[in-house]
Amino acid sequence: MDSEFRLIISCPDRVGIVAEVSSFIASYGGWINEASHYSDPVSGWFFMRHCIRSSSLPFGIKAFKDKFSPIAEKYKMKWSLFDSSMKKRIVLMASRESHCLVDLLHRWHSKELYCDIRCVISNHEHLKRLVDAYGAPYHFVPTSRKSKENAFERIIQLVEDNQADLIVLARYMQILPGDICDTYQNRIINIHHSFLPSFVGAKPYHQASERGVKLIGATCHYVTEALDAGPIIDQDVMRITHHNTVEDMIRLGRDVEKLVLARGVRSHLEDRVLVHGNKTIVF
Amino acid sequence: MDSEFRLIISCPDRVGIVAEVSSFIASYGGWINEASHYSDPVSGWFFMRHCIRSSSLPFGIKAFKDKFSPIAEKYKMKWSLFDSSMKKRIVLMASRESHCLVDLLHRWHSKELYCDIRCVISNHEHLKRLVDAYGAPYHFVPTSRKSKENAFERIIQLVEDNQADLIVLARYMQILPGDICDTYQNRIINIHHSFLPSFVGAKPYHQASERGVKLIGATCHYVTEALDAGPIIDQDVMRITHHNTVEDMIRLGRDVEKLVLARGVRSHLEDRVLVHGNKTIVF
Amino acid sequence: MDSEFRLIISCPDRVGIVAEVSSFIASYGGWINEASHYSDPVSGWFFMRHCIRSSSLPFGIKAFKDKFSPIAEKYKMKWSLFDSSMKKRIVLMASRESHCLVDLLHRWHSKELYCDIRCVISNHEHLKRLVDAYGAPYHFVPTSRKSKENAFERIIQLVEDNQADLIVLARYMQILPGDICDTYQNRIINIHHSFLPSFVGAKPYHQASERGVKLIGATCHYVTEALDAGPIIDQDVMRITHHNTVEDMIRLGRDVEKLVLARGVRSHLEDRVLVHGNKTIVF
Amino acid sequence: MDSEFRLIISCPDRVGIVAEVSSFIASYGGWINEASHYSDPVSGWFFMRHCIRSSSLPFGIKAFKDKFSPIAEKYKMKWSLFDSSMKKRIVLMASRESHCLVDLLHRWHSKELYCDIRCVISNHEHLKRLVDAYGAPYHFVPTSRKSKENAFERIIQLVEDNQADLIVLARYMQILPGDICDTYQNRIINIHHSFLPSFVGAKPYHQASERGVKLIGATCHYVTEALDAGPIIDQDVMRITHHNTVEDMIRLGRDVEKLVLARGVRSHLEDRVLVHGNKTIVF
């Protein structure tokens, strides 16, 4: 696909925003591939995402930003402009389970996900062989009780060295320190293996079995310091019956986890997710 | 909810349409509740739906139309402008089965569907009592082989007398004559009890059972002269197993039929369905 | 359908149960329409449901019970035997909202649910007209703060007078006193408008909106004294987006509520639900 | 899990089958892990699957078969007895697309699928690297117009050399010759990328886009000589909108294809699929 500029805007709602933005784009001959609007009647905020074919514009991203700035100021916009041809840099983190990790690697490898997977960090060694097949560097960073502090220093170092735009916790079973959550606000995506807010914390399938639910689920969300409480990007569920043991749930749940995480990561990579308070707008 | 004007546009895609339309709206202080765009890369057509708070504009629907006409001409638009406070007039048609009919009546009665159900036409007498409870006039128009021609004359008369904006075939098991289909193009909604294009025509659940499918479905579509081949508005399915007999499918299928028909009718009533060729854009 | 006897069994698992039960049935020429087994590896209990064509047996339900008793004792079974031709007597309870109530009445009226709806009890008056159309007696029992105690006495009286086998809370927004819950253990079905255990208690859609979930749901469960914590019979969800307001959720959720409640009630009426601890086996 | 014997039975329905079979099992102290029955009221056939803990029986599979034979003859059963500890040997076949292939390899590698993937056959060379990572032999067998006949001879040879119990067409885009379909009746599983019987044959997503459907699907079925017409094992769908191009459908559809194929293969490996005529019973 031709590259496009993605203009993402949040601002207090008022008359004339769409007119001003679209007139700006049209005045330079910009061809709009896709446009989405949402006016939140509760918060009184307005959200907007435009994809403009880059080749239709007479200037690049830097000039676009300069020229658009006055409009942004006028409407007190929070805004970003992304070039779709710039691959976002991702650091993947995983623990023992490989399903989410390999799923993302395979979508990347088969060009379904447009991004740059810089490396994989794991607190286990055994996933190395599969990761190698996909050609991604593998860093084993153990997180035993003793080594934990060092581990997170090493992890931050790796994330910084790789200039990561996004950290994806592909079933990484460790809780990240609060300062990492803060530094990478809305840039760390986690997959939780329950339909949040049900079954926060450890062993959600065991909790689900205990409660006797008839559906199990998974939730993809941005990580905040509060455990499993960050803005939800996507969720899904699948039906189970009394026949299904906890082991079945763990097995069946993998398919939902993979799918929901992949959808959430894709939405993020396409700059479709706008966070407002603790909620998301997903265009 | 406050009333709103809904501006529905289809036209060949080109630069500046959104700018022109939104500037027009903004120039009169129009507050946009909702806006949806779609640019079809295959056909090269552009589709658009705006909901503008009526009270924010200094004029009514007549003046809106007059003022907007030049823009519409400039861009060769097919367009409509609807006042959301004007209830669309509906004629419901049913045969022996009551589930879709009562479902729509109940949604109307509980104010979930904003419309004016003018009357029910059925080729059976026994649904009268339930329809009476909802306060809708009931017309029994038999369609025996002999009376068929007269029946459709009578039906056209009823539709015209009621100035129907929309005819809904709520499991009306008769094929409408071609001239009715033509006259009311994109204004007759049918629910077909299969996941089209599988199982066109009669007894789709029997066909489904014969083929051994693992999902059954329903399709809500606009009626055209070609049987079960009109533009699809909505579809859904439900899982069945080898345990389910044809009778089970008929029973289970009712829930999908009701839901899909109600969603399709609602989308139509909210002016969300744009037809292009044999396909729909549902905003 | 021909009538059938439904033999429902729970007992500690051991070798020979199925052989003993099926040999018993075969020895009298009993034709099995349907049989389901479940062996719970965690609790070590065994669950079983047989449907035997009544006309294939040389005796009636009384003799069946007498002859089967020794087997039941031998295996320490909790067991019941139901005659499918005996309609279960239901008391429906509703508050202001009509969707679940009318849905159940319509399924009963169109013979989809085989039961005897003895009456409707509501703490509001306005649903009477619709209930009348279905020919079910309507009892208005107000539950103002003052009248509450009297109200529940009146309700118990109505339930007893009607010899109800089952009480269905079709969005009855009052909490039942603990003694009613105890007396009618596993015979009161409630529909809760969330995907339990998320959003227990009041205003679950408001809670859901607050948390920013991407799916809303409904849960059909037996009522226990602990609020929204009884054994779950069925659950389902539907997808929402950031566009959907709390009002949308309330509207959309109705379709899930109706469906899940109807499925749960049907399962109960067909003697498919076995309760063990706080969990259900649904054959 | 402990190994178990799986006894699979189809026979004309009559009184006493369950009693006879379960008494046989009980008489040897056999512990039943799982039992499923289905009596088809249309065909008058009875279907049954028992899983018996091997260690609870005083004999092995050979003696089991000998002892059970008289019962099987008495009831004119078609029957099989499988030892769950014997891995079924699979030959995977793929063309250009890797998603189904890698999905199955990964489920096998992570021990989710209990089987022996003997080799992968592809008419393209480029998937070799990924297959190597999973340690499965890779055979490149080109199928140009000229080489086709030789290709299928080579394929048969590979299948025979590997004593394959099952051939899985993981998006293998070639039509198998009729004699292979006959020889491996109900032992070749295909994934078709549409919701059959809609969109038989080539380019089903293009057909789906042309027709304007609102759901796309995938179908897992046994291969017969008639194209895409064999017994259906499993199906599923996902929702699309007017926004989704054919390319989107191809991408989104992959997730349904993978899931449906994996479920179908798993059901087959667990001896859950019984074929009767052109339909399946999936226990």
Mean pLDDT of chain D: 97
DSSP C2: -
* Dihedral, B133, B139, B144, B148 alpha carbons, nearest 10: -150
Report whether pLDDT(C74) > 90: yes
pLDDT (average), residues B51-66: 97
- Residue B206 CA, chain-centre distance (Å), reads 27
A vs C: CB pairs below 8 A = 79
Name the residue among B188, B168, B174 with its Cα closest to residue B95: B174
Bridge partners (DSSP) of residue C215 are C239
Mean pLDDT of chain A: 97
Helices A17-27 + B17-27 axis angle, to 10: 140
Question: Chain B contacts of D243, Cβ < 8 Å?
Answer: 38
Name the residue among B13, B81, B48, B10 with its Cα closest to residue B277: B10
Q: C172-179 — which CB contacts under 8 Å span 24+ positions?
A: C172/C93, C172/C94, C172/C95, C172/C122, C172/C123, C173/C95, C173/C96, C174/C95, C174/C123, C174/C143, C175/C227, C176/C152, C176/C223, C177/C152, C178/C225
Measured between alpha carbons, how far is residue B138 from residues B47, B169, C62, D214 in Å? 38, 15, 49, 34
D67-93 pLDDT per residue, tens: 999 999 999 999 999 999 999 999 999
Helices B204-211 + B246-269 axis angle, to 10: 120
Report whether pLDDT(D1) > 70: no
Give the C-alpha separation, D155 to D172, whole Å: 13
Nearest CA in chain B to D229: B211
The residue out of C49, C65, C83 marking a domain boundary is: C83
For chain C, where are the E strands, in sequence order? 4-12, 32-40, 45-53, 78-83, 89-94, 116-122, 138-140, 166-169, 188-192, 215-222, 232-239, 273-276, 279-282
Q: How many CA atoms lie within 13 Å of A64's alpha carbon, on the beta-carbon side?
A: 25
Per-residue confidence (pLDDT) for residue A146, from 0 to 100: 87
Q: Which domain holds residue C249?
A: 89-282
D240-274 pLDDT per residue, tens: 999 999 999 999 999 999 999 999 999 999 999 99
Question: Chain A contacts of D255, Cβ < 8 Å?
Answer: 259, 262
Report whether pLDDT(A53) > 70: yes
pLDDT (average), residues C63-76: 98
Interface probe, candidates C214, C220, C263, C267, chain A, greatest A C-beta count within 10 A:
C214
Neighbours of B79 (CB within 10 A): 17
> A73 with A93, same domain?
no
Nearest CA in chain B to A1: B41
Report whether pLDDT(A1) > 70: no
C110-162 pLDDT per residue, tens: 999 999 999 999 999 999 999 999 999 999 999 988 888 899 999 999 999 99
| Cβ partners under 8 Å of residue B233, min gap 6 | B189, B220, B221, B222, B264, B267, B268, B273, B280, B282, D214
With H, G, I as helix, E, B as strand and everything else as coil, classify residue B260.
helix
Per-residue confidence (pLDDT) for residue C168, from 0 to 100: 98
Interface probe, candidates B1, B106, B111, B240, chain C, greatest C C-beta count within 10 A:
B106
Q: Please report the residues numbered 94 through 153 in chain B whose beta carbons come closer than 8 angstroms to any beta carbon of chain D.
A: none
DSSP C162: T
Who among D98, D129, D255 is closest to A259 (CB)? D255
Report whether pLDDT(D145) > 90: no
Q: Do B236 and D215 touch (CB under 8 A)?
A: yes
Cis (ω within 30 of 0) for the bond into B41? Answer: no
Report whether pLDDT(A222) > 80: yes
**Main-chain phi, psi angles of B227, to 5 degrees:** -60, 125
Q: Can you say whether residue C24 is alpha, beta or left, with left for phi > 0 and alpha for psi between -120 and 50 degrees?
A: alpha
DSSP A125: S
The residue out of A83, A103, A136 marking a domain boundary is: A83
Exposed / middle / buried, residue C152 (Cβ in 10 Å: 0-12, 13-18, 19+)? middle
Closest Cα in chain B, distance from residue C99 (Å): 8
Q: Can you say whether residue D203 is alpha, beta or left, with left for phi > 0 and alpha for psi between -120 and 50 degrees?
A: left
> B93 with B68, same domain?
no
Chains touching D by CB (3 or more pairs below 8 Å): A, B, C
Q: Do C26 and D16 touch (CB under 8 A)?
A: yes
> A127 with A242, same domain?
yes
Measured between alpha carbons, how far is residue D27 from residues B234, C30, D68, D198 in Å? 56, 22, 12, 49
Per-residue confidence (pLDDT) for residue A150, from 0 to 100: 92
Per-residue confidence (pLDDT) for residue D10, from 0 to 100: 98
Give the C-alpha separation, A101 to D26, whole Å: 46
The residue out of B38, B55, B83 marking a domain boundary is: B83
Name the residue among A134, A222, A219, A124 with its Cα closest to residue A174: A124
> A116 with A236, same domain?
yes
| Cβ partners under 8 Å of residue D281, min gap 6 | B242, D38, D40, D47, D273, D274, D275
Catalytic residue among B83, B165, B182, B228: B228
Name the residue among C154, C101, C155 with its Cα closest to residue C126: C101
Inform me whether the C-beta atom of residue C211 falls under 8 Å from chain B C-beta atoms: no
B133-185 pLDDT per residue, tens: 999 999 999 998 888 889 999 999 999 999 999 999 999 999 999 999 999 99
pLDDT (average), residues A136-159: 94
Who among A42, A195, A245 is closest to C195 (CB)? A195
CB A117 within 8 A of CB A92: yes
Exposure class string for A77-100: b at 16+ Cβ within 10 A, else e: bebebbebeebbbbbbbbbebbbb
Q: Do D232 and B213 touch (CB under 8 A)?
A: yes
Per-residue confidence (pLDDT) for residue C163, from 0 to 100: 98
Nearest CA in chain B to D41: B245
Inform me whether the C-beta atom of residue B251 falls under 8 Å from chain C C-beta atoms: yes
Element (H, E) at B121: strand B116-122
Element (H, E) at C261: helix C246-269
Inform me whether the C-beta atom of residue A32 falls under 8 Å from chain B C-beta atoms: yes
Interface probe, candidates A196, A214, A219, chain C, greatest C C-beta count within 10 A:
A214
Report whether pLDDT(D275) > 90: yes
pLDDT (average), residues A14-41: 96
Bridge partners (DSSP) of residue A146 are none
> C66 with C111, same domain?
no
At residue D253's C-alpha, the angle toward residues A258 and D134, to 5°, is 55
DSSP secondary structure letters along C209-238: HHHT-SEEEEEEEE--SSTT-SPEEEEEEE
Q: Please report the residues numbered 42 through 101 in chain D whose beta carbons come closer than 8 angstroms to any beta carbon of chain C.
A: 56
Interface probe, candidates A101, A106, A114, chain D, greatest D C-beta count within 10 A:
A106
With H, G, I as helix, E, B as strand and everything else as coil, classify residue C150.
helix
Exposed / middle / buried, residue B3 (Cβ in 10 Å: 0-12, 13-18, 19+)? exposed
pLDDT (average), residues B68-77: 98
Give the C-alpha separation, B154 to B139, whole Å: 10
> A76 with A96, same domain?
no
Give the C-alpha separation, D6 to B29, whole Å: 73
Neighbours of A4 (CB within 10 A): 23
Q: Do A242 and C198 touch (CB under 8 A)?
A: no
Percent of chain C predicted with pLDDT > 70: 100
Bridge partners (DSSP) of residue A279 are A276
With H, G, I as helix, E, B as strand and everything else as coil, classify residue A238.
strand
> C126 with C62, same domain?
no
Give the C-alpha separation, C144 to C124, whole Å: 11
**Is B116 marked active-site?**
no
pLDDT (average), residues A16-31: 96
With H, G, I as helix, E, B as strand and everything else as coil, classify residue D145.
coil
C201-220 pLDDT per residue, tens: 999 999 999 999 999 999 99
Who among C25, C30, C33 is closest to D39 (CB)? C33
Measured between alpha carbons, how far is residue C37 from residues D33, D40, D153 in Å? 10, 18, 47
Q: How confident is the model at residue B270 (pLDDT cuts 50, 70, 90)?
A: very high
Who among C99, C112, C262 is closest to B110 (CB)? C99
Q: How do B116-122 and B138-140 pair as beta strands? A: parallel
C237-279 pLDDT per residue, tens: 999 999 999 999 999 999 999 999 999 999 999 999 999 999 9
> D76 with D102, same domain?
no
CATH number assigned to the domain comprising residue B137: 3.40.50.170
D180-210 pLDDT per residue, tens: 999 999 999 999 999 999 999 999 999 999 9
Nearest CA in chain D to C37: D35
pLDDT (average), residues D60-67: 98
B203-260 pLDDT per residue, tens: 999 999 999 999 999 999 999 999 999 999 999 999 999 999 999 999 999 999 999 9
Give the C-alpha separation, D185 to D180, whole Å: 8
Per the structure block, which two tokens stand in for B131?
Answer: 């329809």
> B164 with B207, same domain?
yes
Q: How confident is the model at residue A149 (pLDDT cuts 50, 70, 90)?
A: confident
Per-residue confidence (pLDDT) for residue B1, from 0 to 100: 62
Per-residue confidence (pLDDT) for residue D24, from 0 to 100: 97
CATH number assigned to the domain comprising residue C59: 3.30.70.260
Report whether pLDDT(C1) > 80: no
Question: Chain C contacts of B255, Cβ < 8 Å?
Answer: 259, 262
Give the C-alpha separation, B129 to B135, whole Å: 10
> D17 with D126, same domain?
no
Q: Do B213 and D197 touch (CB under 8 A)?
A: yes
> C115 with C253, same domain?
yes
Bridge partners (DSSP) of residue B79 are B9
Report whether pLDDT(B192) > 70: yes
ipTM value = 0.96
Provide the number of structural domains found in chain C: 2
DSSP D37: E
> A11 with A135, same domain?
no
Q: How confident is the model at residue B2 (pLDDT cuts 50, 70, 90)?
A: confident
**Main-chain phi, psi angles of A17, to 5 degrees:** -65, -50
The residue whose two tokens read 């220093």 is A153
CB C252 within 8 A of CB C240: yes
Exposure class string for B126-155: b at 16+ Cβ within 10 A, else e: ebeebbebbebebbebebeeeeeeebbebb
